[in-house]
C-alpha cells in the first residue's frame, strides 16, 4: 500500500533580499514573482496531487489569514496551520510540524519545503520525491540536490557519493554538506560533477526525524514539545505556547540535525529550481529577451541590455533608456536602483532605512488584514486618507479610537455600519461620520468586495490606536493582534 506524503510548507521568512517588493510585513512568498500565483500558492499546488495529503503550514501570526486566503483562492484546504509566536529558524518549525503529524499519524511521511522557491516542473519534482520514498521509509533522512548550472556562492552545496552526468533522481548516500563557498571553490564544485546545490527540501518519517532530534538536539525537542503542550486552538489555527517557544534555540535544521546524522540520503534533481534569493535571480528566472532585458508591469526598456525593470503599480510608469546591468524596481512608496552585481546588497539599504526609522524598511504599502486590506493614499500632520477593501461577508472588529475621528465614503458595494447604538446600510456615494471615541464597526453584507475611502483626523493616527470590544478573528488590541 502506498504511503501518503504530508507536505509541510515553511512560510515564515521575511525576504528582505527582494526589497522593496518583499518586506517584513508582506514577504516574497505571498507575491506573484513568477506567474499569476504567489510563490506560496504555487508551492501548495505543487503537492496537490494523488499520493499527497493536504498541506501543513508553519507561519507567523501576522500572516495567518494571508495563508488561509491564498490557499482558499486556489481551492486548497490546509490540514493545519501552525503559528509560531516568533521566528526561531527552521529546526524548531520543522520539528513542530513533525510532532503535530506524529500525533495524528505515527510514522507519517513528510516532505518539508520552503514556500518561496520556484520549481516550474511540478510533475518532474513529484517524481523525484516519489523516488525518495523507499529510502525515507527505510529510516533515511533524505535531502534533495539541485543540478548546478553556475558556480553559485549564495547556496550551500551537497557532496554526492558518486558523480553523475544526468542527475537522475536516484537516491544515494550523502557524503557531506558544504558551506557556502567562495568563487574559486564554487568553480571547482561545479566542475567535478559530484556536487549539487542544497535546496533545503527534505523527506523523512516523523518517527525518524524526532529520533534524530532526540539524539542530536534534545534541547530543541524539549522546547518544542513544551510549546506544543501549551498550544491553543482558535479559528482553525494552532498557536504554539509563546513562553515555551521563546526558550527554543534559534537554529537551522541543517545545523541541529542533518549535519550530525549518519542516516543521510540525497536525491539529485535535474529540473529547474530557484530560491529567488535576490533580484539578479528574478532577472535570470524571468526569461530575459535577446538583449538580456526583463520588464514587468508598466515598465518600458529602450536600448537597454542585461537589465530588469519592474513597476509594481498599475499607474506608475518606469522607463529605462540606455541602461546596462541595472535592476530598477518601482513601488508607490519606494524605488530601488542598483547594478545587478550589487543586487545582493539590498540588505544594506534595508538596514539603513531601519536605522533611520523609515517605515518603508519593513512595512508594505498595502496592509493585509483578515477582512481584506487597506492602503494609505495621503498622509498629513493631523489627517490621513485611506482606501479600504472589505471582502464579502467580512467584518472589522467592534472598536473605538482614543485619538482620531473618521469619515467613511463608500465608493463600491454596500457597508453595514455600526456607530454606538445605531446600525444602518451605507451604499455607494453615501458617507458616515465616526466621532472620536465612538464604538463602531464596518461589515460587508454583500457578495462583492466593498470599497470605501476613509478620512482620519486627529492628534495620533497610528494603527495601534484601536480598542477592540468584539472581533470574529480573535485578535487582541492594537494593530493586528
The tens digit of pLDDT for each residue in 52-79 reads: 999 999 999 889 889 999 999 999 999 9
| 20 preceded by a cis bond (ω within 30 of 0) | yes
Q: Which domains does the chain have, with CATH numbers?
A: 5-269 (3.90.550.10), 279-353 (no CATH), 366-470 (2.60.120.10)
Strand, coil or helix: 127: helix
Sort strands 5-11 and 109-114 into parallel, antiparallel or unpaired. Answer: parallel
pLDDT of 276 strictly over 70? yes
pLDDT in tens, 366-406: 888 889 999 999 999 999 999 999 999 999 999 999 999 99
Q: Which stretch of 133-142, 240-249, 311-320 has the lowest confidence by average pLDDT? A: 311-320
| Phi/psi-derived region of residue 284, left when phi > 0, alpha when psi is between -120 and 50, beta in every other case | alpha
Percentage of the chain lying above the pLDDT 90 cut: 87
How far apart CA 235 and CA 225 sit, in angstroms, is 22
Q: Residue 1 has what pLDDT? A: 52
Burial class (CB in 10 A: 0-12, 13-18, 19+), 332: middle
pLDDT confidence band for 478 (50 / 70 / 90): very low
User: Which residues are within 8 A (CB) of 215 and not within 5 positions of it... i.e. 6 or more apart?
Assistant: 260, 261
Rounded to the nearest integer, the mean pLDDT of the chain is: 94
Count of residues making up the chain: 481
Strand, coil or helix: 121: coil
> Are the C-beta atoms of 346 and 278 separated by less than 8 Å?
yes
pLDDT, mean of residues 354-374: 92
Q: Residue 476 has what pLDDT? A: 59
Return the sign of the alpha-carbon dihedral for residues 161, 140, 179, 17. positive
Q: Residue 13 has what pLDDT? A: 75
Distance of CA 143 to the CA centre of its chain: 21
pLDDT of 460 strictly over 80? yes
How far, CA to CA in Å, does 235 sit from each of 64, 232, 239? 10, 10, 10
Amino acid at each position: 500500500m502506498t504511503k501518503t506524503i504530508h507536505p509541510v510548507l515553511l512560510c515564515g521568512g521575511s525576504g528582505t533580499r527582494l526589497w522593496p517588493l518583499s518586506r517584513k510585513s508582506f514577504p516574497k512568498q505571498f507575491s506573484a514573482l513568477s506567474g499569476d500565483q504567489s510563490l506560496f500558492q504555487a508551492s501548495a499546488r505543487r503537492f496537490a496531487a494523488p499520493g499527497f495529503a493536504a498541506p501543513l503550514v508553519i507561519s507567523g501570526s501576522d500572516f495567518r489569514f494571508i495563508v488561509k486566503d491564498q490557499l482558499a483562492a486556489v481551492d486548497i484546504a490546509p490540514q493545519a496551520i501552525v503559528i509560531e509566536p516568533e521566528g526561531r529558524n527552521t529546526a524548531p518549525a520543522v520539528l513542530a510540524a513533525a510532532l503535530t503529524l506524529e500525533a495524528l499519524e505515527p510514522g507519517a511521511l513528510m516532505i518539508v519545503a520552503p514556500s518561496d522557491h520556484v520549481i516550474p516542473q511540478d510533475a518532474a519534482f513529484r517524481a523525484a520525491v516519489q523516488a525518495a520514498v523507499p529510502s525515507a521509509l527505510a529510516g533515511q533522512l533524505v535531502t534533495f540536490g539541485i543540478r548546478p548550472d553556475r558556480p553559485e556562492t549564495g547556496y550551500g552545496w551537497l557532496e554526492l557519493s558518486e558523480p553523475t552526468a544526468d542527475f537522475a533522481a536516484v537516491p544515494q548516500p550523502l557524503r557531506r554538506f558544504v558551506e557556502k563557498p567562495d568563487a574559486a571553490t564554487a568553480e571547482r564544485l561545479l566542475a567535478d560533477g559530484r556536487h549539487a546545490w542544497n535546496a533545503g527540501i527534505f523527506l523523512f518519517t516523523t518517527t525518524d526525524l524526532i529520533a534524530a532530534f532526540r539524539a542530536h538536539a534534545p534541547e530543541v525537542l524539549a522546547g518544542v514539545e513544551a510549546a506544543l503542550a501549551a498550544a491553543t486552538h482558535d479559528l482553525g489555527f494552532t498557536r504554539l505556547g509563546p513562553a515555551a517557544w521563546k526558550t527554543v534555540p534559534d537554529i537551522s535544521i541543517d545545523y541541529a540535525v542533518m549535519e550530525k546524522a549518519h542516516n543521510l540520503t540525497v536525491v539529485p534533481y535535474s529540473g529547474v529550481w530557484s530560491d529567488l534569493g535576490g533580484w539578479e535571480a528574478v532577472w535570470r528566472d524571468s526569461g530575459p529577451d535577446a538583449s538580456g532585458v526583463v520588464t514587468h508591469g508598466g515598465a518600458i526598456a529602450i536600448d537597454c541590455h542585461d537589465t530588469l525593470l519592474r513597476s509594481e503599480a498599475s499607474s506608475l510608469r518606469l522607463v529605462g533608456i540606455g541602461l546596462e546591468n541595472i535592476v530598477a524596481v518601482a513601488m508607490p512608496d519606494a524605488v530601488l536602483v542598483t547594478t545587478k552585481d550589487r543586487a545582493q546588497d539590498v540588505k544594506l539599504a534595508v538596514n539603513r532605512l531601519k536605522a533611520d526609522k523609515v517605515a518603508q524598511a519593513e512595512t508594505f504599502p498595502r496592509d493585509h488584514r483578515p477582512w481584506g486590506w487597506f492602503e494609505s493614499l495621503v498622509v498629513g500632520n493631523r489627517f490621513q486618507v485611506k482606501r479600504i477593501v472589505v471582502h464579502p461577508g467580512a467584518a472589522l472588529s467592534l472598536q473605538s479610537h482614543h485619538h482620531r475621528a473618521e469619515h467613511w465614503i463608500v465608493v463600491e458595494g454596500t457597508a453595514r455600519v455600526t456607530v454606538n447604538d445605531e446600525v444602518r446600510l451605507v451604499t455607494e456615494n453615501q458617507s458616515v461620520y465616526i466621532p472620536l471615541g465612538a464604538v463602531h464597526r464596518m461589515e460587508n453584507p454583500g457578495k462583492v468586495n466593498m470599497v470605501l475611502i476613509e478620512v482620519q483626523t486627529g492628534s495620533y493616527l497610528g494603527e495601534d490606536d484601536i480598542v477592540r470590544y468584539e472581533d470574529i478573528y480573535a485578535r487582541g488590541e492594537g494593530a493586528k493582534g
